[in-house]
Every structure is written in structure tokens, then in C-alpha cells.
Chain A
Amino acid sequence: MNLLCETPSPSRRALLAATGGLFAWAYLPKFARAADQRDPRLVVIILRGALDGLSAVAPIGDPDYAGLHGQIALSLSGDHPAIPLDSFFALNPAMPVFARLYRAGQGAVVHAVATPYRERSHFDGQDVLESGFPGPGRVGSGWLNRAIAALPRGAPVAVRGGLGVGATTPLIMRGQAPVLGWSPQTLPQPTEDLANRVLDLYRHLDPLLAENLMQGLATEKIAAGEMDKTPRGGFATAAGMRQAAQGAARLIAADDGPRVAALAFDGWDTHANEGGATGRLAQLLGGLDCALEEFERTLAPVWQDTAIVIATEFGRTARINGTVGTDHGTATVAFLVGGAIKGGRMIADWPGLKPDQLYENRDLAPTTDLRAVLKGVLADHLGLGGRVLAESVFPDSLAVKPMNGVIV
């Protein structure tokens, strides 16, 4: 049990409501599961806001890293030393669960990875990440849904469809294949980040609104005080992430439940006071780590056939900015976790961090196409063919070959 994790009170009603939706699946014909037929589970977690890959998995061995990341750079010494993954890379200490799974051969990190998107808009970047198209094309379906839809009729994954976590299904899971929707019971509360952005806007435009909102928030904080230990939901808190993971895991663990789940966690847009081994980003990474622990625990009976992919729309600048944060960048990390992952290794063609090695002299340069990783998972875990992957799941991606050997 990770002590950093808060345990949410189980929201029984929410779970009952959600499992009620499973009746629909119960009416579908059941397929005898042959002993040799795998019944894989696939979870995709999207980190909205662009994760700083250099602070999540730091290239400690790169001579230019510490200088670029300045006071938030991770290090192997100090009060909160980073956890070495190999002789070159070290993990943010906020992720002990991932570190354990990595050592057990059930976690891998892909570094210097990026989608084909090269601009810096969150909306468009997330659109590309989730739609699976080479550009922001305003298409109404996501690659994960199209992957399910492309499976042969009768395959367990195709029969049971997908799970979309959240008030509305994330784009990645929208499409023709059947999708079960589920949302944790607690409604997401406004995050501190949103409040700060609204306050900042008011300070520029309407000081009265700024003053009053600030007072209202301060009053609330005092009133809640130490009692404020209850999970407030929202996908940008450790409790909220754990809660979402727990519900999703129970649903896909169920015999007749969906086999593929999509979740989205918010809050990764760390322009200011990002922190390093501790601080804002570390708290979010800790929340993500809690979610992984929850999946591992709840999916224990099917863990050997489980693959979890964690990806974000793009990375952040290699150099920290004037507010001790990082701005929108390009390449970053993706995490692969689960009993089905051939883990215990870093997958990286490291581009280096010298000025002329950085993308546009500012970002970690991409050397791996995220679609290659995703294709590798879909091919070896769900059994999708290269042609389908290149045409309907990730359109116009024939040149991007599936990564081999991602799955055990």
C-alpha cells in the first residue's frame, strides 16, 4: 500500500448503477472460452495537459539534463532521490508502484516518443492522440473504438466492447463499437488550477470579481479545514484517479464486462511551480501511481493478460521557464504496465539534449512514433493485423511499423 495514496470511500451506488449497464452485455450470446484463447484486458490512460517526460523519467546520465531542468531536475541524491531504472534513466520518486512493477518485468517506459502532431495546442494535440489521425481532423471517433470495431465478430473483446470513464466518453473511445459509460459518483470539483486561471483572468479584466472569488475560495478553505479529507473526485487528484481506476478495474474484471477501458486524467499542464521530486507534478504522478496500484490489485486474477498504456498529447520544453515550470513541447514518455507487458526495460533511441539536438532548439526531439507503440500493443495483445492498423485504426500510417515485442 502506497502511503501517499488516499483511499476513497467506495461509491457503492455508482458501481451498482454502472454494473446495471452490464445487463445489456449479459443478454449477448456467451462464447465458450477455449482454454488456449486469451481474454485480454487493455486500459488506455490519457494524461491531458501534456506530461513533462523529463521530470517523470529523467535522463540522469545526460550531461545537459541538470542544467536545462535547473532547480526542478531530478537527482540520485538528496532527500527525495530518483529511482534508477537503468544506468541512464531514473524515475520520479513519486511512483514507487511503477518502480516495483518495472523491476518485476511488468513495466516499461518509452522515451522521446511523440504523436505525429508538431504544433502546441492542447485541443489539437489531444485530438490527434485520441482520434489516431495524422492531424487534427475533427473526426468523431477514436482509434481505440475503431480497434475494437475492427476485431473479428465473436472475439471476446469485440463482443463486450469498451468502457469510457467520465461524464462523457473520451474521444478515443467514441465510435461504432459498443461502449459502456461510467463515471465516479462524486462530481469533479473545480481544481485549484482552474481557480487560479480564472483569478488570473479577473485580475486583468475585473478586479472586483477577482477580489470576491478569492475571498469565497479562502472562506471555503478555512471552513473545510482539516476535515477536508474526503475524496473530492475530479480526475486531477490522487483520490479521484484511484477512484476512477478502481471502478474501471472492477468493470473490466467482471466476466461479462467490457475488455477495453479508456480513462483521462487532468492537470498536467505545469507552466508554473511544476516541482520535481516533490510538488505539483510529483503529486499528480503519485495519483497516477495509485491508479496503477488499484488496477494491479483489482485485476489480479487477469493481470497476466492485462496491458495498460499511459500516454499524453505532447511533452514540454527541455529548459525550465521563468516561473519554474515548463511550456508546451514535443517528445515525452509513454508508460506500459501490466502482466502482459514485456517490461523491465527502457525503450528509447535517445536523441540527446544539446542545443542542436533539441527539436526547434527547445524540446526533446521525437525519435519514436507513439503510433508504433500503440500498434505493437494492438497487434500482439488484441491480434489486429497490420493492414487494419494502418488503414482504419491509424489512417495513413503505413510507414509507421508496429513495434515488435511489446507484449509477452
Chain B
Amino acid sequence: MPEDPGQFLGALAFLGMPLWGPPGPDGFPDIAAAWASPEGMKVRLEICARIADRWRDSLNPLDLLDEIAGVAASSETRQAIARAESKQQGLALLLMSPELQAPMKGARR
């Protein structure tokens, strides 16, 4: 449990998935239009950039990629992160990578 859940709850609501607040009894929709909408992607980029700014250079994005995705990480993502101009930008790229953003292979599109 994070020390201050408020900021995470706020971000979840911003992203259209308030905690325990799905729009209907069948839960959050799993079609691409709902979980990868243009506005939603834009907001995700903003939130990822903010989280990365908070972490800044305290974490090495390449180490984190290994820890989270390991061998499942694509060479493209690894390269994009390695080429980032700062650890902060690398962390934002990691958070926005397809590996973290669209990990459900079976998700309906």
C-alpha cells in the first residue's frame, strides 16, 4: 500500500478507471476503443511523464525493464530506452512501452 494512495486514485480516475467504479456490473470494457482511446493514450503519456519525473534518476530504466519484463522485452523497447537522453526519459519510455501498455495478447481489438 503506498503511503499516499490519493495520487494513485486520482490518476486512475483520470485514466477512466476509478477504483471500484466500473461503469456497469460487467466491469470495465476490454475493447481497444475503451482501453486505448486517443484521449486516454494522451493522458497516459502525461501521467507516465510525471511518474518518471518523480523517480527521475533514482532508478535505472534498463535494470527496471529486466526486472519487469525480462526476456519478454522486445529489442525495440530495449533500444529505445537505452537511447533515451536521460534516465527520466528512459523511465517514461518504459512505462509507455507496448510491453506495459498492451500486455494482454488476447485483448479484443
Could you tell me which A residues sit within 8 Å of B by CB distance? 48-50, 121-123, 126, 166-168, 170-171, 187-191, 193-195, 197-198, 200-202, 204-206, 208-209, 212-217, 219-220, 266-269
Q: Is the CB of B85 within 8 A of A201?
A: no
For the complex, what is the distance from the CA of A202 to the CA of B93, rounded to whole Å? Answer: 11
B37: chain A residues at CB < 8 Å are: 212, 216
For the complex, what is the distance from the CA of A220 to the CA of B88, rounded to whole Å? Answer: 23
For the complex, what is the distance from the CA of A212 to the CA of B50, rounded to whole Å? Answer: 20
Determine how close the nearest CB of chain B comes to the CB of A115; give it in whole angstroms: 16
Count of B residues near A, CB < 8 Å?
42
From known contacts A167-B53, A212-B37, infer whether A266 and B88 are also in contact, taking CB-CB under 8 Å. yes
Determine how close the nearest CB of chain B comes to the CB of A16; give it in whole angstroms: 21
A187: chain B residues at CB < 8 Å are: 50, 53
Q: For the complex, would chain B's binding face be called helix, strand, loop or mixed by DSSP majority?
A: helix
Interface string of B63-105 (1 = CB under 8 A from A): 0000000000010110010101111111011001110011000
Determine how close the nearest CB of chain B comes to the CB of A262; give it in whole angstroms: 12
Number of A-B residue pairs with CB-CB distance less than 8 Å in the complex they form = 116
A122: chain B residues at CB < 8 Å are: 84-86
For the complex, what is the distance from the CA of A171 to the CA of B97, rounded to whole Å? Answer: 26
A209: chain B residues at CB < 8 Å are: 36, 41, 98, 101-102
Q: Is the CB of B85 within 8 A of A266?
A: yes
For the complex, what is the distance from the CA of A215 to the CA of B36, rounded to whole Å? Answer: 11
Q: For the complex, would chain A's binding face be called helix, strand, loop or mixed by DSSP majority?
A: helix
> Which partner residue on chain B sits nearest A46 by CB separation?
B86
Q: Is the CB of A205 within 8 A of B57?
A: no
- Given A168-B54, A204-B76, A209-B101, 13 new contacts (CB under 8 A): A122-B85, A126-B86, A167-B54, A190-B45, A193-B85, A193-B89, A194-B92, A198-B92, A208-B32, A213-B38, A216-B43, A219-B39, A269-B85
Q: List 30 A-B contacts (CB under 8 A).
A: A122-B84, A123-B86, A123-B90, A168-B55, A168-B56, A170-B56, A188-B49, A188-B50, A189-B49, A190-B45, A190-B46, A190-B49, A190-B92, A194-B45, A194-B92, A197-B84, A197-B93, A198-B45, A198-B92, A201-B80, A201-B97, A201-B98, A204-B76, A212-B40, A212-B41, A216-B37, A216-B42, A216-B45, A220-B42, A267-B85
Determine how close the nearest CB of chain A comes to the CB of B56; give it in whole angstroms: 5
For the complex, what is the distance from the CA of A194 to the CA of B109, rounded to whole Å? Answer: 26
Determine how close the nearest CB of chain A comes to the CB of B95; give it in whole angstroms: 10
A212: chain B residues at CB < 8 Å are: 36-38, 40-41
